[in-house]
Chains A and B, each alone.
Chain A
Amino acid sequence: MTISRRTFLKGVAGGGGLLLVSGIPLADARMSTELPPHAVGILYDATLCIGCKSCMANCKTQNSVPGGALYKKGMTAPPYESKGPAGDEGIWDAPQELSGKTLNIIKVYKNGTGEKKDVAVNGYSYFKQQCLHCISPACVSVCPAGAFRKDPENGSVYYLAERCIGCRYCQLACPFGVPRYEWDSAWPEVRKCQLCRHRYAEGKYAACAEFCPTGATIFGKVVDLRNEARYRLTLKPGTEYDFPIKTVDSAEKSRRPVARYADGTYGLTEAGGTQNIMLSGVSFELLGFRKKIPHFDLPSLTWAYVRKVLWVFAGVFTGGTTIYAITHRNDKEGSHD
């Protein structure tokens, strides 16, 4: 080796310094844990749901148009059964689970005789599964190519297919198990609810809320939805209340008796808080929403690791150079290797 130790040490020190300097922008990269200024979302009240699945059907049609979450360039037919075989025009698809073709699903909980609505024992309840639009989404933080984004204004979590490499880390990371993959495609996309963000420009909002006949799903500003949920929880079961329909600030109301709510509002603290929130007469644990969900922002777990990365480089180069200088002090220049 012909390089002098001095030159080598200089080079290493310079490189290490450069690394540290280049690390300064890291400080701004941490994900926000605050609700975006104009955050919108959905309040789903299971006690109002009648299981008509209008939200599911309209979610599919409204998202199969350009800009929608189910739309794909060059798509010849929407990804759902819009037309049965000849002579059997009445057929429609009945998904059992969220999938690459289903962004939102109504399921039913049943117990014993299943007679009473919104009761855990010998009762039944509907529930809705879809993306909850976390305030600090794990899918956004884990995506290596930035294919998942959170809108800084309205907070909807959306997907940019052209960036996606298909590693499916989002599927692993999502604590709610929401993102689904197009397993049957050779050039697959990740699919999940994007809160109908393509419809805002036309003054419209989430299709599932617009087409919900009972007000079980309503759309609105997250702060308003939280207030509405909090107010409903204070109402005495059995008393009558004017439930807003379609949007939280709607003039259209539906007067109905208030059911007995089991838990508080789901989505205030789960995974650090979500923009879609839920109320139910049967505890969320029984409906399949796991109790084990962490009640803090998940990206902070990996950030604790990421912020150490540059220090490792700095440490190895400083430590390594020092050790090198010590261990090679007895070697004459050019004698090793």
Chain B
Amino acid sequence: MNIISSRDRVGIIGIGQSEFRARRDDASYPDLVREAVVLAMADAKLDFDAIEGVVYSLSPDAMVGIGNAERLGVDAVGGRSKRFLRINTGGATGISSVTAAYYHIASGACDVVLTAGADKVGECGDSQTVLNKIWDPTYERQLPLGTINMLAMSAVRYMKMYGMTEEDMARVTVKNRKQAALNPRAHLRKIVSIDDVMSSRIISWPLKLLDCCPQSSGGAAMVLASEQYIHDNKLDAVWITGLATVAETYWMGDRMGADPTAEHADAHALARSFQRSYKMAGITDPAKQVHVAELYAPFSNTEYHSIDAAALCKKGESIAMMRNGEFELGGRIPVNTSGGTLCTNAIAVTAMARVAETALQVWGRAGAHQVNGAKLGIASGNGGDHQIFGTMVLEA
């Protein structure tokens, strides 16, 4: 029997998030990455020499308009002579990057790893043009497919299956904006009413302007370390106790019909990813055990199927629970207390911000949007055509 108990967990020891705005004309792309790294290193209270590897968080190059922008990023993250890896899983990139950082440590290869990135979506005049290019050029690109109308079609199916209304969608925006107003880093912080959402212009029915995330610019970084290192150096940390990734078929049309491989209304693969994360963390009843959730939901409707997928309720029950205020700050399981993706979306780091915000919550450092007594939280990221997912369980 070991005298010293096993110290094989991976902890988060530093978090840096820039302010997120439509444009950051004061900072070039590498400047913005650097800003997040400096914040994370200051938070970790570590000398930079301690960093053994860097996982670089960067989604489609065309969004920042720099081919292989990780080249410019190497200097911004202090990556010279260190292990270096770029991750791109679209919207899931940020959580995939934290996952890759986790495995660098869990494998025993490193004790301390930095993950960082930034995006400047506000500089891209054609983000839906860029996102149209993620569709197959053979059969589908000719259609005006984009992430907005793809998830509008998910909304239409969710409405039919579970009775979600346009007002139910608006309710998510109202909740998240109210919470973003408490988060100084959030991009859209103006409180809005259901009427404001309902009367905003239609983008892709049933999605209206205020049902949609903004195009944000900003950076994020996190420092992860082994439990042994954290113990030896007497550092403060919160722990990643469960994590998983799951991919789904490319074909949206296969997620429909009489016998779909997955239902486009639901977030089928996200649910599977959460199941894996919960199993690893030993969580048997998420609806009772989860205190706080940051779920990647760039459009109001997608918060419902994400809550369902996280098993915080049975499928479709999220609608009634949202009406009852159960997912608000002060409610039973607060969701997206930071304002979430709906209020801030700098794509390359959006899913990292979900992990970062959950970490701050279980750490008790979330500030004005802190959930009292939160000790166990979950985070998720969705990428591609609702196709590639990552999930985590974080504990104090």
Specify whether A and B are partners.
no
Question: Which residues of chain B have a CB within 8 Å of any CB of chain A?
Answer: none
